[in-house]
Amino acid sequence: MLSVIRGGRVVDPTAARDAVGDVWIEDGRVIDPPGRAADNVVEAAGCVVMAGGVEVHSHIAGGNVITSRLLLPDLYVSEAAPEGHPFAHAGGAAAWIGSTYARMGYTTAVEPAMPPTHALATQLELADIPLLDRGALTVMGNDDQLLQLLRERQGGNAVRDLVSLSVAQSRGLGVKCINAGGASAFKDGALRLSLDDEIPCYGLSTRQIMGSLLDAVEEIGVPHPLHVHCNNLGLPGADDSFIATLEAAEGRRIHFAHAQFYAYGAVDPANPGTGGFRSAAERIAQAITDNPNATLDIGQVVFGQTVTVSLDILRQFAGRKGANPKKWVLNAGDAEGGGVVPFLYRPRGPTSSLQWAIGLEIMLLSTDPERTILTTDHPNGGPFTQYPRIIHLLMDKGERDREIATLPKIVGERSGLPGLEREYTLSEIAQLTRSGPAKLLGLADRGHLRAGARADVAVYRDDANRTAMFTAAKLVLKDGVPIVEEGEVVEWRSGRTLSLTVEADKGMAKRADIYLTERFGEGLDSFAVPDAAFGEGTENFEAVPCRV
Amino acid sequence: MAAWVKGDATDAGTAIVAAASLLAAARAPVIAGLSADVAAIRAAYDLAGRIGASVDTAGAAGTYAELGALSRVGALTSTPAEAVGRADAVLVVGAAPWQAPLMKRFIDTKPTRGRAAGSDRALLAVGANATASLAWPAAGGLAEAVGVLRAYARGHLAGDALPGQIVARLASAQYGVLLYDPAELGEAGVEMLQGLAMELSETTRCFTLATGGVGQDRAVVPVSAWMTGQAPRSGFGRRVPEHDPWRFDAARQVAAGEADAVLWLASVPVARPDWLSAIPSVALVADGEAAAAEVVIAVGQPGRDHGGVLWNEPRATLTYRPASAPTDLPSAASILGALKERLITGQAASRSEPAC
């Protein structure tokens, strides 16, 4: 069927397009105007037409997410089920995640933390998120098997083979390292770790582990650069860790997760633990401008109750004292394990206000929004449902000023936010939420509306109230099929999980099988994510090729 | 395929029709057992959500001891492979954990990873035991005993009595593990044990580890959490998931006359409760027999008759198990899917009736 979305303001920064026009769609793809009459015409006058949103870092599945639901059963509100799905309005459920993203015009979302030991459970959970295409990043950097290999200096090829085996086995879309070596150090008694600190029992450092993973990702040709969660998240002086990590990348491609949590300069560098922090947004933004090999996502903080979930158990253990309410879960499990700590970003509290300001400041100082991805590190900085409000604040200086006026003076004293005049354009918002994340993940047919693009399209009613505009799209197409109309889901279809096609080395598979059997009593088969696990006749996975 | 309606052997189609009418006639149906693979557990929740049933599991006693404590105070945990690989001191709480397959690995091996690698592993016990190097009989009850240990760890009690010695040994360990069976220890005891681990971890590393429960409860908990946002037990009669371990206790509901039909799901064999015969019931079971329920449908056992995703106790996660001896018995998931088709189609036909 030939369809046209007619007369909307089409915003596609990858084609320098921001003007009233048409978008033609056939067989699930965007096409050039075909010179034929459309079978189906969608009138979009007064609307903004963008590619479907792409999420690179949101905790939407996995052991920590499960635990957070058990620890805080009342975190999200549930409403009566809609027609067609029994759990789509059940707060925090997989179907709620899928439908809430879809209503906002997002069509792809990536879970950034899948431990290979728990890949099948994570993948099964992802598969139950309807409407969206999904993906997951395979986490490495703390497991004994990798650390042993590095300790014994077995060489880059062995690391590369273990990384490709882990990605292939877990069916990941990319590779992430989380405070590399930190979880291992925690189990051996450490309470802090910086880039060059020695990791007990292995004689390694974060720099060495991360460096070996950076090389492996390049050698394998993983489209998404190594996704890095640095040391010292959230501590005054964490900006030094960020910059040191960037320098340690030595020009190799690197993605920084939730950069806001590192943009904390120590007020008193001699006593970073006691003097508090000030915004280091300028320093971080400048570093990204100066290093075209680097990208970041924000991890914007929003006010209110949330829960922090992270495989950085060193950090989560340290954060337990700040748990609000006062309960927390830490699993010092296989490889990273996981930690879940409830947290309240106190409305109008001085610390949370400064964190809020720093996230916005990084985005407003960015010289390249395509390398500055909007995230809240859901749910760590707050829920992803706040994206429309954040977009509103970026696009509207007046709205920002009204919010700042309600906040403590520290926002002006320790951040530059009040002085920033910039207002994001719709094109820049599309870079932040569409073209940037799609490029970052190496998904060439997403994040834009040029011919050949997947027909994942969001149509919003143009509205000065950007919060309202981006909360409930007028129309969302997934692969050309309407899934949301007037802000409500109209078609409960299942998307696919994007998984990298990577060849696993047979020799390494054999070695891993022996190692795993020794440690777990079961070999590689037990760690597999086979198609059969997702039900007969269902095609859950979609292959994504490596870079050539 | 084997199926029975009111004791009489019949074919699959007839049994599915009978099961669907039994459930359609119910105002407060319960889906219980859930000792099954992930596909069937998912199908059970989907069905429950659509017909407004409540859900309960076979291993509920242990599951709620865990979940209740977790939602109140949190937890500090390890996994079997990490505990075996790293622990230089293991405190076995109660009698049940000594029967767990994991105990043999603790007894037979030494830690191989981390800072305790190569050292001996001390086995300590709450409850009389001859294997442990230090055993405190603790006649007063397990939960109370754990409370006493915690008081020593916090410094509220002092001295070199047995519990004091046990705590001192754990405090001097590099990686301590507190091994327990949640059903045996109970909710208050689990809560106290988490507090003990947290207390000890202020100065060293100490983690709890639960031994396995009944049926596939450990698989049900995550599936329930991701599908509905809530842990079991839960009910869907009001079209929002409601988590309430007391209210949706199947045995209680049947005894109180609140439930009027039960679907018992046990494709992974597990003991059938007595109350099943007290109420109109459907059983989807691997060990099918005519007397199991009013309507019985024999289904394949996952991992034997057909492949399926099951809880993997030694690895503490989900694993796909291919069929070890394939048969053409239907999967429980496929029967639940067929029931949903019949029930939802019927519902759609009667949707013109006003809702009350």
pLDDT of residue B287: 84
Closest CA–CA distance from residue B290 to any residue of chain A (Å):
29
Note whether B227 and A97 are within 8 A (CB).
no
Residue A83 has pLDDT above 90, yes or no: no
Q: Tell me the average pLDDT across A286-312.
A: 98
Q: Tell me the average pLDDT across A209-221.
A: 98
Task: Report the amino acid identity of residue A142.
Answer: N
Closest CA–CA distance from residue A546 to any residue of chain B (Å):
27
Q: Tell me the average pLDDT across B75-84.
A: 98
**DSSP letter string, A111-143:** EEEE-GGGHHHHHHHHHTS-SSEEEEEEE-SS-
Percent of chain B exceeding pLDDT 70 equals: 97
- pLDDT category at A426 given cuts 50, 70, 90 is very high
- pLDDT category at B350 given cuts 50, 70, 90 is very low
Segment A238-249, tens digit of pLDDT: 999 999 999 999
Give the span between the Cα atoms of A201 and B220, in whole angstroms: 37
pLDDT of residue B345: 72
Q: Tell me the average pLDDT across B130-143.
A: 94
Q: Establish whether the linkage from the previous residue to A325 is cis, with ω within 30° of 0.
A: yes
- Please measure the distance between the N-terminal and C-terminal CA atoms of chain A and give it in whole angstroms: 34
Six-digit token string for A417: 């936010």
- pLDDT category at B346 given cuts 50, 70, 90 is low
- pLDDT category at B347 given cuts 50, 70, 90 is low
Residue A192 has pLDDT above 50, yes or no: yes
In chain B, which among 193-232 make CB contacts under 8 A with chain A?
Answer: 201, 204-205, 207, 221-222, 225-231
- pLDDT category at A372 given cuts 50, 70, 90 is very high
Residue B349 has pLDDT above 80, yes or no: no
- Residue A392, SS3 per DSSP: helix
pLDDT of residue B351: 40
Segment A390-407, tens digit of pLDDT: 999 999 999 999 999 999
Beta bridge partners of residue A459, listed in sequence order: A49, A475
Six-digit token string for A266: 């120590």
A187 to B86: CB separation less than 8 angstroms, yes or no? yes
Residue B355 has pLDDT above 60, yes or no: no
Choose, out of A68, A330, A516, A522, the residue to mutate when testing the contact with B (most B CBs < 10 Å). A330
Closest CA–CA distance from residue A522 to any residue of chain B (Å):
8
Residue B326 has pLDDT above 60, yes or no: yes
A121 to B239: CB separation less than 8 angstroms, yes or no? no
Give the span between the Cα atoms of A70 and A59, in whole angstroms: 15
Task: Count Cβ neighbours within 10 Å for each residue of A191-219 and write b for 16 or more, e otherwise.
Answer: eebbbebebbbbebbbbbbbbbbbbbbee
Query: How confident is the prediction for chain A on average, in pLDDT?
Result: 97
Note whether B74 and B195 are within 8 A (CB).
no
Give the span between the Cα atoms of A112 and A61, in whole angstroms: 9
- One-letter-per-residue 3-state SS of B8-46: EEECHHHHHHHHHHHHHCCCCEEEEEEECCHHHHHHHHH
Residue A250 has pLDDT above 70, yes or no: yes
Residue A200 has pLDDT above 80, yes or no: yes
Task: Report the amino acid identity of residue A547.
Answer: R
B337 touches chain A (CB under 8 A): no
**Nearest Cβ partner for A519 among B74, B81, B175:** B81
A125 to B74: CB separation less than 8 angstroms, yes or no? no
Count of A-B CB contacts under 8 Å: 178
pLDDT of residue B214: 78
Residue B316 has pLDDT above 80, yes or no: yes
Closest CA–CA distance from residue B201 to any residue of chain A (Å):
9
Give the span between the Cα atoms of B103 and B212, in whole angstroms: 12
Give the span between the Cα atoms of B47 and B343, in whole angstroms: 9
Q: What is the Cα gyration radius of chain A?
A: 22
Q: How far, CA to CA in Å, does B6 sit from each of B211, B282, B284, B335?
A: 39, 10, 14, 18
Segment B180-222, tens digit of pLDDT: 999 999 999 999 999 999 999 999 999 999 997 778 999 999 9
pLDDT of residue A55: 98
10 Å Cβ neighbour count for A58? 23
pLDDT of residue B1: 63
Q: What is the ipTM metric for this complex?
A: 0.97
A78 to B229: CB separation less than 8 angstroms, yes or no? yes
Segment A456-486, tens digit of pLDDT: 999 999 999 999 999 999 999 999 999 999 9
- Containing A241, the helix (H) or strand (E) segment is helix A238-248
Percent of chain A exceeding pLDDT 90 equals: 96
Closest CA–CA distance from residue B139 to any residue of chain A (Å):
31
In chain B, which among 156-175 make CB contacts under 8 A with chain A?
Answer: 174-175
B336 touches chain A (CB under 8 A): no
Which residues of chain B does A186 touch, with a Cβ-Cβ cutoff of 8 Å?
Answer: 205
Q: Tell me the average pLDDT across A511-524.
A: 97
Segment B153-187, tens digit of pLDDT: 999 999 999 999 999 999 999 999 999 999 999 99
Task: Give pTM, 2 decimals.
Answer: 0.97
Residues 6 or more apart whose CB falls under 8 angstroms from that of A447 comprise: A14, A51, A54, A434, A435, A436, A437, A438, A439
